A and B are shown apart, each in its own frame.
Chain A
């Protein structure tokens, strides 16, 4: 079991009567990518702001490296790189000049770090273009360059793929993965895009209406996922009778007149097919399927999918 590097203890943020985040107990393990998944307005950004001390929690505490953020933020924050909400930079300066400002504020010594950070995200060093002339994707890349420039141990990235084109998203995904795999960074990433989290995260937390509903590793989640055989037949009533009488199972679900899901995956599919045809039931389609993260998300949050 890897050491917990970020932990929240009953973290709550209340604005007036509305709880934006409610009793959040989140555990992020060292050297892993934790995906915080939730709909827009679920409380992801507020939770991340509290982790960084940008918003004061109403109650609860954040522990990073085993130290409380409330009392040790000055020692903890220099080891964190972050991107919260939209990228914020000075529009009258170039990307390199913008990074130089934060390079100076961080009292860094090697100017080489600016070039390396820009190259890592695919932006030119000492470019003439001002930040105000950047596309949304370039702005997002610059924000990630800022987050990694000082070689932090933890990265907190709030919706980092916003505004990136499909190629950019794929590049960013492999970049984030390599930061974790090759440089041992611990990464907390939030997104409302299920597929991205599914492809990237080692552990996921599902947050809805400020409440962390589920926290699980992707491996465990895959084990939990329901597997089933989906049938598309001419008559589901006849098919379900046959499953009950001939195969002695009630572990199935009739969706409509033509579709049926069989959860008893130990049964022999060829045998079922043969019996169905013999009984005069036409089979249009048979598929072995598994719940996706979206299905799981719907099940946990009790609502529609998010992306």
Chain B
């Protein structure tokens, strides 16, 4: 497995899709800054900025972003026709997928750090009050780990939809709806503790200072553990795909010229 992970990291070199992830992390922060301009009575300080960045990440950006990128990372073996080289080593599809999921977990953490850096940058520009070292460290921890936990919550969708070369695009849509559902789940603490996307918020202690927010860490952990188990089961029962892996090129329709 160590070799698979190391090779997966090598494959990311000059991989442009990662830049799309970085751009989306920037978008998440810019979107938050944009909402700060609205005169809705909210009192904006650094703490509130962090919370809003995490909320935007959850509801709009990150589920879509990581499903897209992981989908690309997985389906490239079919797109680039490299699966045959790996299967004849032999390395099973399950092992390869596990390695890829592991590396994409690290990519989630990396995007979390990138998002944190952009948040700090935004803070330097807009200079909201209430900055402290403790809050900066909290921002780093919460943004980064939220991305990781959110990724865990999304893993079953990623595994289910990334098997066919362009199936992950369906996964991106499902992930967006699934992520947005987190916003509604937070309306009820029991559902919030069970719904994986919002349970990820519970594990980072999102707004835990608020008396109305009561996270049950056991339920939140169980929710995400269930997602990991489902992913494991999906991987274990994954049919060994036998080489029907070339992306079919779309036939271009010939336009009849003349009469």
Contact of A93 among B11, B90, B242 (CB under 8 A): B11
Judged by a CB distance under 8 angstroms, whether A254 is at the interface is no
The reply to whether B87 and A54 contact each other, CB–CB distance below 8 Å, is yes
Chain B CB within 10 Å, residue with most, of A56, A88, A102, A104 = A88
A63 to B86 Cα, complex, angstroms: 21
Partner of B82, one of A74, A90, A130: A90
CB distance from A1 to the nearest CB of B (A): 29
In the complex formed, the residue of B with least CB distance to A88 is B81
A228 within 8 A of B: no
Q: Are B11 and A90 in contact, with the CB atoms below 8 A?
A: yes
Could you tell me how many residues of chain A have their Cβ less than 8 Å away from some Cβ of chain B?
32
Are A105 and B4 in contact (CB-based, < 8 A)?
yes
Residues of B with C-beta under 8 A to A100: 10
A119-140 interface (Cβ within 8 A of B): 130
Say yes or no: is B132 at the interface (Cβ < 8 Å to chain A).
Answer: no
Q: Which residues does chain A contribute within 8 Å of B10, judged by CB atoms?
A: 93, 97, 100-101, 104
Find chain B residues with CB under 8 A from A97 CB.
10, 13
Tell me the A53-107 residues at the B interface (CB within 8 Å). Answer: 53-56, 73-74, 77-78, 80, 82, 84-93, 97, 100-102, 104-107
* Closest-CB distance, B24 to chain A (whole angstroms): 20
Please judge, given known A-B contacts A93-B11, A93-B13, A97-B13, whether A107 and B3 are in contact too, CB under 8 Å: yes
B242 touches A54 (CB 8 A): yes
B88 touches A80 (CB 8 A): yes
Q: Interface digits, B85-112 against A, CB 8 Å rule (1 contact, 0 not)?
A: 1111111000000000000000000000
Restricting to B1-19, which residues have a CB under 8 Å from any CB of A? 3-4, 6-7, 10-11, 13-16
The answer to whether B242 touches A56 (Cβ under 8 A) is yes
Question: What residues on A are CB-neighbors of B15 within 8 Å?
Answer: 92
Please give, as numbers and ranges, the residues of chain B lying within 8 Å of A212 by CB-CB distance: none
The answer to whether residues A93 and B243 also contact, given A53-B87, A54-B84, A104-B7 and a CB cut-off of 8 A, is no
Do A88 and B11 form a contact, CB below 8 Å, given A55-B243, A104-B3? no
Q: Which residue of A lies closest to B82 (CB)?
A: A88
| Beta-carbon contact of B90 and A77 below 8 Å | yes
What A residues does B6 contact at CB under 8 A? 104
How far apart are B31's CB and chain A's nearest CB, in angstroms? 30
B85 touches A92 (CB 8 A): no
Q: Are B14 and A88 in contact (CB under 8 A)?
A: no
What A residues does B89 contact at CB under 8 A? Answer: 77-78, 102, 105-106
B76-A74 in contact (CB<8A): no
A47 CB within 8 Å of chain B:
no
Whether B90 lies near A74 (C-beta < 8 A) is: yes
Q: Is A30 an interface residue, CB under 8 A from the partner?
A: no
- Smallest CB separation, B95 vs chain A (Å): 10
Whether a CB of chain A sits under 8 angstroms from the CB of B39 is no
Q: How long is the Cα–Cα vector from A106 to B6 in the complex, in angstroms?
A: 12
* B246 nearest CB across to chain A (Å): 8
How far is B77's CA from A89's CA once the two chains are assembled, in angstroms?
Answer: 9
- Residues in A neighbouring B82, C-beta threshold 8 A: 88-90
A158 CB, min distance to chain B CBs, angstroms: 10
Task: Determine if B80 is an interface residue (Cβ-Cβ < 8 Å).
Answer: yes
Tell me, in angstroms, the Cα distance from A78 to B88 when the chains sit together: 8
Q: Are B13 and A82 in contact (CB under 8 A)?
A: no
Nearest Cβ on chain A to B234's Cβ, whole angstroms: 21
Flag whether A39 is at the interface (Cβ < 8 A).
no
Query: Would you give the 0/1 interface string for A160-188, flagging 1 where the beta carbon is closer than 8 Å to chain B?
Result: 00000000000000000000000000000
Complex alpha-carbon distance, A6 and B174, angstroms: 47
Q: A92-B13, A93-B11 are in contact. Are A84 and B90 (CB under 8 A)?
A: no
Q: Name 5 extra pairs, CB < 8 A, besides A89-B82, A90-B76.
A: A77-B90, A87-B81, A92-B14, A93-B14, A105-B4
Residues of B within 8 A of A (CB): 3-4, 6-7, 10-11, 13-16, 76, 80-91, 242-243
Leading 6 A-B pairs by shortest Cβ distance = A88-B81, A54-B243, A92-B14, A77-B90, A88-B82, A104-B7
Residues in A lying within 8 Å of B, measured CB to CB: 49, 52-56, 73-74, 77-78, 80, 82, 84-93, 97, 100-102, 104-107, 130, 146
Q: Return 8 A-B CB contacts under 8 Å, by A number.
A: A53-B88, A54-B87, A55-B243, A56-B242, A77-B89, A92-B13, A102-B86, A146-B85
